[in-house]
Structure formats: structure tokens, C-alpha cells
Amino acid sequence: MKEPIALQEIPRNSVFREGDVFVLFGELFGRGYATGLLEEARNAGMQIIGITVGRRNDDNTLRPLNADELSEAESRLGGKIINIPLMAGFDLDAPAGHPTPTDLLAGMTLAGWESDRLDWDYIEKCRQIATMRFTQALSEVMAVLDSMIGDGRNVFFAHTMAGGIPKAKVFLALANRIYKGTATRHMSSQALLDSDLGKLILQNFDEVSANTFGHLIDFSSAIRQRVEASGAQVRYTAYGYHGTGILIDSEYRWQTYTNYTQGYAKMRLESFAEKAWKAGIKATVYNCPEIRTNSSDVFTGIELPLIPLLLALKKEGGGEWAEQQWQACEALLTDGYTLDDAIAKIRTLQASDVMIPFYDFMAWPMPNSQAQADLTIGTSHEITKMHRDGKALISDHLSALVVEATGQLIFAASSAPIGPVLWLNHDVVAKRLNTSHARATTPTTIRQDDRQNTSQLEVV
Ligand SMILES: NC(=O)c1ccc[n+]([C@@H]2O[C@H](COP(=O)([O-])OP(=O)(O)OC[C@H]3O[C@@H](n4cnc5c(N)ncnc54)[C@H](O)[C@@H]3O)[C@@H](O)[C@H]2O)c1
């Protein structure tokens, strides 16, 4: 991928309708990206089916959800969950009676981790055991799913799995330094990648965030062939991250959060979509903007590129509703601060000589540096301190808007996807939000004008 290919037009759903099937491949968390896509599937009247990663017993064995967990998960999802554990990654797998990779990491200390070596043949055995466990469970899941999908029903597979951080004390301490540490607490992300510990973590990220998409496409091939033979269509989507185009100095420019250690796995995820696309399978990775979720909260400063979405809302024809978003965000700041103050801080960061080398698409994902981490994390803390309440942030408000817009865009774009890897930049996100909210709040006369222009607009 030499340059980001952006979704530019607001697409329209022309495939998915009542009775079609939406399969969420990952669990649902309250504020995660998947909530937006699921909302669209529900609005279209689709049957919703989910999976579970399962839960760990005290002895680390993996089990299905118990009755209470299952009923809670199904009511959150609004659909049936196939209760066969699909936890990915090999951090807790090992030959019976032998230590797991996480056990091996437990012996590492802050003093010695950089020179500690792992037995890669043994790690490979654990990886193969985990892959076997995952793919066997996936075969069972697919058999159940097959029986739930009638001929003639279109199917939308939405992959959301990402993760793979092993629960090892030493890594949690290092992650705190890499993603949250400044000054003397700063740590080089490259030092992690150069160590055996780092190499293990990258492999596990590949397993969870990328290979699971390949397995999903492979193991659903019988369903895909049957559904397509019955005249219906199948789509696959996954959430990628590979930087985002945001408004910087009045133009949309690509930038990224640094250090995004999972970036290698995200590029591998893209390669699965590219491979599938070449085989005639409609699989698309949508590279989405930085937002705050359960999974991204570890990255201090990831929210900084999100705040200029407010500028994009204005630029992309924002009216009364966009103005209301500015007011709602400004109300979250403590007396004496305005949104312009927060945006000015981000502008200063973006224009800094320290940051400019990091906005190099071809060099992504770059390792962090002391100066870059100090500036990113420091700016994040300063903007957080401008808020009245550290638990009600502008980035929370804007994250929810991005989840809404990306759900609409991905759902609709998947009717006629235009490529295997697409970026959802702030321009199209802002256009999508302004269009839906103008419709929701504008008087009937304008809505009639809208209707005459439906060829350029979307059906939501
Ligand atoms: N938050 C962001 O800024 C951002 C930006 C771009 C893309 N994304 C992507 O969006 C997707 C959803 O993430 P989110 O940020 O909404 O967070 P989230 O926490 O809501 O979702 C994470 C998902 O990963 C699954 N998962 C975690 N560990 C797993 C494991 N070991 N095996 C199988 N599944 C596992 C969870 O079940 C869940 O479905 C991810 O692919 C993420 O990389 C996030």
C-alpha cells in the first residue's frame, strides 16, 4: 500500500434487507467500533448472530459462557450467540502439563527482559496448539452457523477481533512506560521490538488481530458458496488502523498515533483482504479514525487527532447540528478554557519539528522517540486537565459520533465495496454525520429537497 485510498462518497445500501444475516466476529463492548455497525444491521432488520471468545477458568482452561453470561451477552447483542469459545492468540496455550508462553514471561524482570531469550521451537509448538484449538472451534461454529442461514439470505461477516497483549507483569510495566511514560519514565518502543519479549508479542498480535480474519474467510467458504449459489451475496469487513486523514491547516492530511505497535498486525490484516479480493471474495478492511474504546485507552494521546473532527464538521457543510456539537464539547471544558485553546495545542503539536518526521506514511509504524512521546503524552495530559470532569471528555463525545458514522459508512459501502483496503478519513466521517443529523433536525421542506437528490445521497 503506497498511499491511503479513501472512501470519498457517502455510499448507499443496496443489498442488505430484512431477514438477511449479520455475523459479529468478536465480542461486543459498550463503546467499541462494532456498536455502530450493529446498529445499522438492526435498522435494516437483519438477524444478528454473535460469537464469544469464551472465559478462562482459574487453571486457564477455556470455557463457554455460563447461563448468566450468555443471557447478558445475548441481550447486549440483540441476537443469538454461538457459545463455543473463540479466544485467539497462543499466550495461554501449551502442550499439556508444560508452561504457557505467559508462564515463560512470568520469569522476566524489569532488570533482565532485554537480554532474556525464548525457546522459539517451543513457542512455535504453543502457537500451533492454539491455532489448532481456534480452527477446530471455528469449524464447530461454522457448522452451527450454516444451520442458521437459509438459502437466499445475504450474509455480512463483521470481524472486530484485535488484541493479544499477554498478561505478564513485566510487559504491563513496559507498556505503561511506552504508551504513558514521559521524561525519565519514557521507554523506547524499538527496544521492545528488538527483544524476544517484543517478538513474541508481535506474533501474538498477528494471531489475534490478523490471522483470525484469514481463518474467518477460509472456514466460511462452504457457507459462502452455498449462499452465493442460492443467489444471495456475502461480504466480509474488518476494522483496520493505518493512520487517518484529518484537517490540519485547512487541508486533510494523513497522520498517525505513534507508537502503534499493532501496526504490523494491521498491515497483515490488510493483506488477507487483498488476497481474498484477488480470489473474487468481497472482503474489505476499513481503516478507521483514532477513538477511545476499552482497547485503545492504553494509548495516551490517541485522542489528539480526534479533536480536529470538530473542524471537519464545520468544513463539510456543518449547520445547526455541527454548531451544537461544538457547544456540547465546549461545555465539557472548565471555566477559562475554550475549544480553540484545545485545538491550538493540537495545532502546535502537529506543526512541531518533533512530530513532522512521524507523519510519513511509507515509514509507518515508526518507533517512538523521547521528544515525540513527551510532546504527545504531555499535550494529552494538558488537554485532559482543561476538562471539568476527567471522566467526561471531548474525546468521549466525539468517539461516539465516529462510531455512529463509521457504522453507517461501512454498512452501506459493503453493498458495492470499491477495494480491499479503504480509509475512512475525517472528511467522509464529517459529511456522513452532517448529512444524517441535518435530516433528523431539518424541517419537512428541506427533507423534500433531499429526496429529489437521493441519487447523490444514501439510504440510511
Ligand atoms: N479504537 C481505535 O482507535 C481504533 C481505530 C481503528 C481501528 N480499530 C479497530 O476496531 C476494532 C474494534 O476495536 P475497538 O477499539 O472498538 O475495541 P473493543 O475493545 O470494543 O473491541 C476489541 C475486540 O477484540 C476482541 N478480542 C480481544 N482479544 C481477543 C482475543 N484474544 N481473541 C479474540 N478476540 C479478541 C474483543 O472480543 C472485541 O470484539 C479492532 O480491530 C481495532 O483494532 C480501533
Task: Work out the percent of the chain whose per-residue pLDDT is above 90.
Answer: 92
Instruction: Decide: 316 in ligand 1 pocket, CB within 6 A.
Output: no
DSSP E strands: which ranges in 1-99?
Answer: 21-25, 47-52, 55-56, 62-63, 80-85
Q: Is residue 165 part of a domain?
A: yes
Tell me the CA end-to-end span of the chain in Å, nearest whole number.
31
- Does residue 444 register a pLDDT over 60? no
Residues in a beta bridge with 23: 49, 157
Q: What is the pLDDT of residue 441?
A: 60
Q: What is the pLDDT of residue 261?
A: 95
3-state secondary structure 177-237: HHHHCCHHHCCCHHHHHHCHHHHHHHHHHHHHHHHHHHHHHHHCHHHHHHHHHCCCCEEEE
Q: Is residue 231 part of a domain?
A: yes
Q: Which three cell numbers stand for residue 326?
A: 461544538
- Does residue 453 register a pLDDT over 50? no
Instruction: Decide: 88 in ligand 1 pocket, CB within 6 A.
Output: yes
pLDDT-based confidence at 31, cuts 50/70/90? confident
The one-letter amino acid at 260:
Y
- Does residue 440 register a pLDDT over 80? no
| Contact predicate 206/217, CB 8 Å | no
Give the atom of ligand 1 at the shortest distance from the alpha carbon of 28.
Answer: 39
pLDDT-based confidence at 44, cuts 50/70/90? very high
Q: What is the pLDDT of residue 30?
A: 86
Query: How do residues 135-180 score in pLDDT, each as one tens digit?
Result: 999 999 999 999 999 999 999 999 999 999 999 999 999 999 999 9
Q: Is residue 448 part of a domain?
A: no
Query: From ligand 1's centre to the CA of 296, what distance in Å?
Result: 8
- Does residue 14 register a pLDDT over 60? yes
Instruction: Decide: 294 in ligand 1 pocket, CB within 6 A.
Output: yes
Give the atom of ligand 1 at the shortest distance from the alpha carbon of 288.
Answer: 6
Query: From ligand 1's centre to the CA of 239, what distance in Å?
Result: 8
Instruction: Decide: 208 in ligand 1 pocket, CB within 6 A.
Output: yes
The one-letter amino acid at 109:
T
Query: From ligand 1's centre to the CA of 57, what distance in Å?
Result: 22
* Domain hosting residue 28, numbered range: 21-436
Query: From ligand 1's centre to the CA of 71, what distance in Å?
Result: 22
Instruction: Decide: 290 in ligand 1 pocket, CB within 6 A.
Output: yes
- Residue range 69-86: mean pLDDT, rounded: 98
Residue ID of nearest Cα to ligand 1 atom 23: 161
SS3 of residue 86 by DSSP: coil
Give the atom of ligand 1 at the shortest distance from the alpha carbon of 89.
Answer: 31
Among candidate residues 149, 309, 114, 127, the one with its CA nearest the CA of residue 227: 149
Q: Is residue 284 part of a domain?
A: yes
Query: Domain of 370: which CATH number?
Result: 3.40.50.720
User: Measured between alpha carbons, how far is 171 from 109 in angstroms, rounded to an integer?
Assistant: 9
| Contact predicate 223/149, CB 8 Å | yes
Residue ID of nearest Cα to ligand 1 atom 10: 239
Instruction: Decide: 91 in ligand 1 pocket, CB within 6 A.
Output: no
β pairing state of 47-52 and 21-25: parallel
Q: Is residue 109 part of a domain?
A: yes
Q: Is residue 9 part of a domain?
A: no
* Average pLDDT along the chain: 94
Q: What is the pLDDT of residue 34?
A: 98
Phi then psi dihedrals of residue 255, to 5 deg: -150, 170
Instruction: Decide: 160 in ligand 1 pocket, CB within 6 A.
Output: yes
- Residue range 285-295: mean pLDDT, rounded: 95
Instruction: Decide: 161 in ligand 1 pocket, CB within 6 A.
Output: yes
- Does residue 445 register a pLDDT over 90? no
Q: What is the pLDDT of residue 449?
A: 35
| Contact predicate 44/17, CB 8 Å | yes
- Does residue 65 register a pLDDT over 90? yes
What total number of domains does the chain contain?
Answer: 1
Query: From ligand 1's centre to the CA of 295, what distance in Å?
Result: 6
Q: What is the pLDDT of residue 443?
A: 45
How many alpha carbons fall within 13 Å on the CB side of residue 49?
20
Query: From ligand 1's centre to the CA of 262, what distance in Å?
Result: 11
Q: What is the pLDDT of residue 295?
A: 87
Query: How do residues 224-280 score in pLDDT, each as one tens digit?
Result: 999 999 999 999 999 999 999 999 999 999 999 999 999 999 999 999 999 999 999
- Ligand 1 probe mutation, 133, 141, 157, 160, most atoms within 8 A of CB: 160
Query: From ligand 1's centre to the CA of 221, what distance in Å?
Result: 24
Q: Is residue 5 part of a domain?
A: no
Query: How do residues 311-335 score in pLDDT, each as one tens digit?
Result: 999 999 999 999 999 999 999 999 9
Query: How do residues 358-414 score in pLDDT, each as one tens digit?
Result: 999 999 999 999 999 999 999 999 999 999 999 999 999 999 999 999 999 999 999
Query: From ligand 1's centre to the CA of 162, what distance in Å?
Result: 4
- Does residue 458 register a pLDDT over 50? no
Q: Is residue 267 part of a domain?
A: yes
105 alpha carbon, distance to own chain's centre: 27
- Does residue 447 register a pLDDT over 80? no
As a whole number of angstroms, the longest Cα–Cα distance in the chain is 72
Give the atom of ligand 1 at the shortest distance from the alpha carbon of 290.
Answer: 3
- Residue range 37-59: mean pLDDT, rounded: 97
